[in-house]
Amino acid sequence: MELGLSADEQARLIAVVGAAAGRLVDPALLAFLRPCYLAFQLGRHALAATHDVAEAPRLAAAVRRYTVLLAGRPVA
């Protein structure tokens, strides 16, 4: 999510991680963890935006990005 990798780049990363771990990365586990991670980050940034006025615009932009990603849409 954070690196903005293409599908091919993600597949290569998954293969490298699997090789280093000595076992395949479970695609079902990745599918489960992706929305969990995005929802956590969305909430984390939204909460932080309410407590840090100076950083609020940057944090609000992150909230929008995580919302778009969580909805399954490409980030513009």
Confidence at residue 76, expressed as pLDDT on a 0 to 100 scale: 62
Report if residue 76 sits inside a domain: no
This model's pTM is above 0.75: yes
Domain with 28 in it: 7-70
pLDDT per residue as tens digits for the range 50-69: 999 999 999 999 999 999 99
Report if residue 31 sits inside a domain: yes
Which stretches of the chain drop beneath a pLDDT of 70? Answer: 74-76
Report if residue 48 sits inside a domain: yes
Confidence at residue 19, expressed as pLDDT on a 0 to 100 scale: 97
Give the integer Cα–Cα distance in Å for 13 and 36: 20
Report if residue 43 sits inside a domain: yes
Total domains in the fold of the chain: 1
Confidence at residue 1, expressed as pLDDT on a 0 to 100 scale: 85
- For residues 56 and 42, is the Cβ–Cβ distance under 8 A? no
